[in-house]
Amino acid sequence: MTALIAIVASFGLVLGLAWYLPIDRVNNPRAGIAAPGATGDSGLYPTTPSVPLPTAPDGGPLTVAVIGDSVAGNMYDALTEHPTAELTPVDVTYGGCGIFDAEKARADNGFIMESEKLCWSWQDKLRTANAEQRPDVYIVHNAWDADDQLLDGTWVGPCSDVWQQRYAAQLETLVGIGAEQENAPLILLSDDRARGAKSSLSAERLGCKTAVENAVMQAHTNVQRLPFAAAGCPGGVCATRTEDGSAIYTDGSHFSATGLAILAPWLQNEMAKALQGA
């Protein structure tokens, strides 16, 4: 009973922190209205050209492990609630977490995330998914990793050598976990759009994070980019509502039910394009 109470309490803490985190640090689009036909074709989260989602190597539905923060959790929800083809999503998401595995993370407003207590279990959970479900695809959204990270007692940011070396090692760990399977999965690393110059998601900080990811993508052909930033802000315009006035986001950060329905076909089409080499 004591163990059960501890598990429930830990889950509640993670969930509570996920919604306490600064909203603009993950996904804060500029106000706008999605143009007619913008959702699902050539505009917001486009699905053209449309590519059919292939089956898994064994002929069954694809299995997709979604890894990362609360926006990654939205991606998992989208795939679960609005599949356009048969697939099996696996949830490896934790609100406020990434894959950096520092002792703590510090947001741009000073909020401190207890990363060691709340985030480090992603590797074990992913290995369990490998053993039980054998994912064909990993989708990773880890914007939290652009925050300052407490590593060996020192705060480091994404443009420092120490941060970049650690992040490169963590990405290699992710690739290595995938390689433990008979068929290494496709790994899609999501980007995110830049915020203000003083934000954890400034253009400079995200550029440093992206540079590390690009080097890993060059070294591993199964690691590719998920263009989340451009898809959410086509032509630099980030819509927050559909043409009929429905909100795409609930709080400037997380997707609404309408937003999940828009996000899902795009995610599935991006997976299909990467798997089919389109």
- SS3 at position 183: coil
Please tell me the predicted confidence (pLDDT) of residue 33: 53
Go through the domains of the chain in sequence order and give each one's CATH number. Answer: 2-276 (3.40.50.1110)
CA distance 8 to 216: 37
Mean pLDDT of the chain: 88
Please tell me the predicted confidence (pLDDT) of residue 237: 86
Check pLDDT > 90 for residue 76. Answer: yes
| Sequence-separated (6 or more) residues with CB below 8 Å from residue 146 | 158, 200, 201, 205, 206, 209
Highest mean pLDDT among 10-14, 30-34, 164-168: 164-168
Check pLDDT > 90 for residue 53. Answer: yes
Average of pLDDT values for 53-63?
Answer: 95
Q: Evaluate whether 25 touches 201 at the Cβ level (below 8 Å).
A: yes
CA distance 62 to 238: 31
Total residues found in the chain within this entry: 278
CA distance 219 to 140: 18
Quick: pLDDT tens for 222-243.
999 999 999 999 888 888 889 8
CA distance 276 to 105: 37
Check pLDDT > 60 for residue 36. Answer: no
The CA-atom distances, in angstroms, between 146 and each of 154, 206, 228 are 15, 7, 16
Please tell me the predicted confidence (pLDDT) of residue 212: 98
